[in-house]
Structure formats: C-alpha cells, structure tokens
Structure 1
C-alpha cells in the first residue's frame, strides 16, 4: 500500500466530532474539502462516541427505559457542522469498515446518481443491529440550501425483539445574510413492538441570528395509541438535553454531549493486509496526503484522477449495458420515492480499522 494512503489513516479522524454539510454532486476543489469521505462521517456518528449509549439501549430494565436510551442515542448521532467545508462525495462501491469494541460497522456507497449510502452494524455481545439507508437530496432556495435526508434508520434490540425506526433531521445551510448551517425539522422515533413513540423538533438560529436558539431540540415521548405524554424533552443537542416526567415533574439529563463525544480516540489501522481496496481512507489517501501537506496542486490532481476514473468506468458499463451491483447490500426503490437497503450478510465481521472504546 502507498505510504501516503497509510498516512491518511492516522489523520482521517482529526475532525471526528464534526458532521458533513451535505452530499451533493458539486465538484469542489480540495481546499473546500475536509480530509475524509462522507461515508466516514456517517460511520463516525455511530462508532465515534465516548459514552456507550448503544449498550444502555440493550441493557435497559424495561421497554420504557430502553426507549429513552434509544432517543438519547438518536440525538447523539447529530454532530455540529462546519460551514464552508465538505467531505468527499463517495465513489460508487466505496466502503468504510471500522470496529469499536464489539461493535462492527460497515458502510457502502450503493448508488452514485442519486447518492445513496447504506450502513450495517452489529454487536454480537449486546445483540444489537443497525441498518441505515439514506440519500441526501439538496433543494436550493436562493440564499440557502436545504438537504433532506431520505431513508430510514433502524436500531434492533434482538434480545427483546424490538425494532426502532427513525428518520433524520434536515440540514439547512444559509449563505445570506449570516452564513451558517443547522440541523432542523422533525424526527420521529417509533417502536411498534412496544407502542412507544417520540417526536423531536430541531430548531436553528433565526434568519439574522436574533431571538433564536442555536442547536435547540424539543419534543416528547408518548404512547402511540393513547397519545399520552410520558416525558417532555428540551435542551441543546450539542450541550445538555433534559427530560421531565410529566406526572412527577422530575427532571433528569437525557443526553450530555460533552460526555458523549469528547475525548475520542483516533482510529488505528491494525491489519493492512485485509484492508479493502475500496476503503474510504485508501481511495482518498493520496488526496488527503496532499491536503495535509498543503500541497494543493497534488491534492487537486489526485482528486481529479479519481473523478475521471469513475466517469470512465460509468461509460464502460453503459457501453456494454452492464449494471453495477452493490457487494454488501440489496438495493430496492420504494413506492414513496425512497430507497431500501437490506444487508446481504447477517453479521458484520471485525474490521482492520479499530477505535479504542
């Protein structure tokens, strides 16, 4: 393996607390990229976390306690966005495979036009499974861009036969009058097995950043059938989120961002021999090396080479009438205009890239 690409493994998590702005087909020069792929950003939102909230989900004493922990976990997957920089758009078939403790995470770019990313994660010790399929579709509104994240996220607690389904907030990027980016919109978390449900509303700054509350989230946990509220939720998802028992009035901390996403360790490449050639940090390694050395011409040339190679492969497939097939997921188009990704394998094996728990 090229030494420059190995170097990228040491540095590809330098901004692991930061979420990607959005995934588009706009070709940016490396100066406006962060040295990582969108797939890595998606994966980091799952495995780069100090507090093991997933274990809390599977070890809850009853279904309400487990549901509360699932809501906290859902909030933890949102990360602050850096305005003005974007991750690399994954190439078709690109993968990212990493492990944290007994949690093994595998992502694959299963479509390029439109961009669709799939995630499968399993933890055999806790008997937890995650399946995501999502596509960010950008809508331009003059002075702003809104990215709607289509697709559902599933968290399965196999010991209890509980399947939690949820969506993701939208990403709103404003250029004028005050540049910035916020997660906004409604998120619904539902478990049909227990009849519990949650609704969260993410709010960003006002247009002029006057009278607004940055990174604010408000919502509730309730019973689906009776609509009876159990807990009210309120706070800032990048700081503290609390929940209040509506009967007793008692307040407790639901999510503490500082405890959850601080003191994170850099992923380490443990076994280069089993690293897939489609691994994100390998695919973009030469570009990353140029960026980290501030050799922008080298980074630009390497990025252009990747893009031209992908266009050439697409033309070749089209000329022979060949369709590209994902390696790790089955991909289906749903009636509501979304995508559904089903893992081809029951479990995700341990990865050559390891994050210390």
Structure 2
C-alpha cells in the first residue's frame, strides 16, 4: 500500500478593493512602502531584476470525471496517511515547495528587521504569519508527498533570502526547512508534520510543528504554529477552505505576545476568512488590535478605537436584528456554506500591515497558483549542475504533471513509491537506520519542543553520498 498523505493547502491573491475611507493617508502610504507588489524584498523592483516564469507549460487537468467518494468512502475518521489518491487530485508541486510559499511575503520580515520599535516589529511578524497561510485560498489540489531524503532549494536575490527544505521523516511525514537572509538580517526555520483526517464531507488538517523567526539585528526570536485548515464539500458542491483556531506568536526576547483568532465561518458564513487578535506586552497590557482577513489584508489599530467601533457596530446590529427577526436556523450546515466575498470594513485610524497580491489572470487554469507558486518548479538553464540530485525539480512525476502528461505522471508516481518501499525494506534487511543529510533532530531552545535543526553545509555544494530516490 502506498503511504500517501493527503494535503489540501494553498493560493494567494484576492484582488482587494476594500475602502480606505477614514484611514490616514500617511499611514496608508507608509504601509504601501512595504506592499509586495511595490517591493519584493529589501529594495524596490528595478530594471535588471531577475524575472521568473508567469505560466505553466500545460493547463490544469479536469478532475470532474473522477469520483472522490469512491476512494474516500471507506476512510471516514481515519488519518489520510495510507490512502492512494489518483494523481489528478495533485498539483504539480512537492509539499517541500508548498512550504516555500511561506516566503512569498518576505518583505514583511525585511520590514520587521528595519523597525526600531518592538511592537511595530511584532505587527510585521504577525502580518507575515497570516500571509504564510494566505496561499491556501482556493488551492484545493494537494501537493505531492515528498520522498524520504527529497530536498528543495530556493534562492531569491531580489527578495534577499535562500532556503533549503528536506523530507526528514516518512513515518510520520515531517518536512524541515531553513531560510536565511542573504544580508544576515534574519533566520526563519521550522518543521511541519501535517496530520489530516477525512470526516465524510470535509478534510481537516492539523499542522503540527513549530515555526521560528530570528531577527538577528534585534536579537529577537519569535515562535508560532499555523492554524487548522478544513476543506469542505469534498464529495459534492463547491470546494471551499476554512482556516480556524488560535495562533500565538511569542517574542521570547521581550515577552510580547500576539494572539490571533482565525475565526470559523459561523452562521451564514459571516465570519469566513476573518482574523482578529491583539498584541500585549509581558504585563498582559493590550497595546494593539489586529484585524482583517487571511485571504485579503490585515490592519492594526489602537484598542480604544477598536472597542469604540465594536460598541457602535453592536448597537447598529441590535437595531437591525429587531427589524429583521428571525435571524436564522440552528440547522444551517456549514459544509454547504458558499464563500463570502465581502471585503474588510476598515476602521477609521487603522494602519495597513499587509495586503495580498493579485493572482495572475489565468490562475484558475493553473491550479490556482500565485505568481510566486508558478515559478517554484522552474528549472532554469544551468541549474542542473548546481542543485542537489535530490531536489524535487528533478522528480519525473511532478515534471510530467506540469507538462500535462497525466498518464506518465501516474506511472512515475507509482514507480517512485515502489522504489521508496524497496529501499526501506533493504535498509530493514541490512539493519540500517535512515540518516538525514542536512537537518538533525533536536530541541527548539525557545519552546523546549522537539524540532529539526539545520546542520549546515548544503550551500558548499558537497553532494556526496546522497540517496538515489528518483
């Protein structure tokens, strides 16, 4: 049986037209300085900046002829780690590449590095944490499971970072990554163990693992975990994605904390996509309120203005409810909830922290990829001589799917899985333990939790003794 982990993650890019009425022009322009559409790193786009591809070689293959129910009906309540799914339900990226989409909004980390006030830095870090899950919007295909020992390298000079990811465990499936600033300003790393279950009409993902951001100039370390994710209407209806749960970002150097509540959709979908939270200091005094949508934008405002707005809003809702009763039924089924496309109501005096980049016009035919995602499997001339042979750009099943060769992709996927099983049996026969190459299992010094730490050496290009996984 194939050990296939089902991942339903990822897209960015709601072309937002939210109103900025009541927002100070200076605050808005200040925020725009760090808008990724204007600034993809520590410096603005200029002539000569490296360009990346803006489309895939072939459009997305239709999934309409495949019955998901015929595959999943025996799996209700199970963890989706031993279910073989047809390749048509994949997207042409490895989960290691999907992890790299955290870095799409690296300019927010660069912004945090440039700020002198610790609360403003926390605002930028909070916006970055939200932006990291924004790519999941409408991304209902699953990435390919990484093979044990698979790697992915990404260097973006225009955004000022380089990253390495490695699949460090197969049971359970664990992906570790390490990104660092080319200018020495930050280190961003973590290990992710996505635990997924099928509940009949939905797939629920619990992203176990710790994410760590170190701002070296400020001697600050932040940690957090991602919210839960649920994909609804797996069997019938329009697929839609819900992020929910509490995310706690801790500045271990100052004691400041940001608590973000990713709200479940609620009755009639009124809360769908909404994120609300606050920043407090080590004495638990609330210093700032953060609100918005993870599919659209995030704003900050002082607590007093926020509370005054909420009181006025509640008074207006109460008057409206008396006119419009009854409000609704307790039997509303959230799984059938359509996506609500309303934009964020901006509170006067708010400051824009982040706004999602528009997706390319042809995104729907390209697995709902963002511009950033479209470039991740790009294999440019000369890269073959630089990349490790375990880099997932060399995976034949992903490459075949990207090129629209679905039958070849399915055959290659099956071959690679069988090769992985055979290698595992051979190690067991020889009583050999698997040894990771670039990461070592250890402890996160900030949380005390188990974590995978980068052991260094990858970028010296010493690729001797790497496993033959493809």
Residue by residue over 1:269-327, the C-alpha shift from the partner in whole angstroms, topping out at 9 and shown as x without a partner, is: 353202111101112xx223432443322111111111000000010111111111111
Match of 2:150 among 81, 94, 117: 94
Q: Is 1:287 matched up with 2:397?
A: yes
CA shift, 1:343, in A, is 1.1
Q: How does 1:209-220 map to 2 (within 5 A)?
A: 210-220=268-278
Alpha-carbon distance in structure 1 between the residues aligned to 2:196 and 2:453: 25
CA contact (8 A) 2:94 2:392 kept: yes
The corresponding residue for 1:120 is: 178
Q: Helix, strand or coil for the counterpart of 1:31?
A: helix
The corresponding residue for 2:452 is: 341
Match of 1:141 among 193, 199, 206: 199
Q: Helix, strand or coil for the counterpart of 1:43?
A: helix
The corresponding residue for 2:351 is: 252
Q: Displaced runs of 4+ in structure 1, greater than 6 A?
A: 12-15, 259-262
CA contact (8 A) 1:120 1:348 kept: no
Alpha-carbon distance in structure 2 between the residues aligned to 1:325 and 1:313: 13
Q: Helix, strand or coil for the counterpart of 2:110?
A: helix
Match of 2:218 among 134, 147, 160: 160
CA contact (8 A) 2:400 2:406 kept: yes
Residue by residue over 1:208-247, the C-alpha shift from the partner in whole angstroms, topping out at 9 and shown as x without a partner, is: x7243321111111113x2111111111111122111125
CA shift, 1:137, in A, is 1.0
Alpha-carbon distance in structure 2 between the residues aligned to 1:247 and 1:231: 9
Measured at CA, do residues 248 and 180 of structure 1 come closer, stay the same or move farther in structure 2, by a change above 3 Å? closer
Structure having the higher strand fraction is 1
Q: Is 1:42 matched up with 2:99?
A: yes
Alpha-carbon distance in structure 1 between the residues aligned to 2:126 and 2:166: 25
Residue by residue over 1:322-353, the C-alpha shift from the partner in whole angstroms, topping out at 9 and shown as x without a partner, is: 1111111112489x996411110289679xxx
The corresponding residue for 2:408 is: 298
The corresponding residue for 1:240 is: 297
Measured at CA, do residues 14 and 114 of structure 1 come closer, stay the same or move farther in structure 2, by a change above 3 Å? farther
Higher mean C-alpha displacement, 238-247 vs 305-314? 238-247
Aligned residues: 329
Q: Is 1:271 matched up with 2:370?
A: no
Measured at CA, do residues 159 and 338 of structure 1 come closer, stay the same or move farther in structure 2, by a change above 3 Å? closer
Q: Helix, strand or coil for the counterpart of 1:272?
A: helix
Gaps of 5+ in 2: 1-52, 61-78, 307-348, 361-369, 462-470
Query: With structure 2 as the length reference, what TM-score do the two structures score?
Result: 0.64
Alpha-carbon distance in structure 1 between the residues aligned to 2:394 and 2:458: 24
Q: Give RMSD over aligned pairs.
A: 3.2
Q: Is 1:57 matched up with 2:156?
A: no
CA contact (8 A) 1:56 1:69 kept: yes
Q: Helix, strand or coil for the counterpart of 1:199?
A: strand
Query: With structure 1 as the length reference, what TM-score do the two structures score?
Result: 0.82
CA contact (8 A) 2:206 2:229 kept: yes
CA shift, 1:84, in A, is 4.5
The corresponding residue for 2:325 is: none
CA contact (8 A) 1:232 1:243 kept: yes
CA contact (8 A) 1:121 1:129 kept: yes
Match of 2:426 among 298, 305, 316: 316
CA contact (8 A) 1:9 1:281 kept: no
CA contact (8 A) 1:134 1:339 kept: no
CA contact (8 A) 2:59 2:404 kept: no
Q: How does 1:164-183 map to 2 (within 5 A)?
A: 164-175=222-233, 179-183=239-243
Alpha-carbon distance in structure 2 between the residues aligned to 1:338 and 1:172: 25
Measured at CA, do residues 63 and 246 of structure 1 come closer, stay the same or move farther in structure 2, by a change above 3 Å? same
- Please say which structure displays the higher CA radius of gyration: 2
Measured at CA, do residues 211 and 297 of structure 1 come closer, stay the same or move farther in structure 2, by a change above 3 Å? closer
Gaps of 5+ in 1: 1-7, 16-21, 351-357
Alpha-carbon distance in structure 1 between the residues aligned to 2:428 and 2:57: 33
Measured at CA, do residues 145 and 337 of structure 1 come closer, stay the same or move farther in structure 2, by a change above 3 Å? farther
Match of 2:438 among 321, 328, 351: 328
Alpha-carbon distance in structure 1 between the residues aligned to 2:143 and 2:177: 17
Q: Helix, strand or coil for the counterpart of 1:41?
A: helix
The corresponding residue for 1:188 is: 248
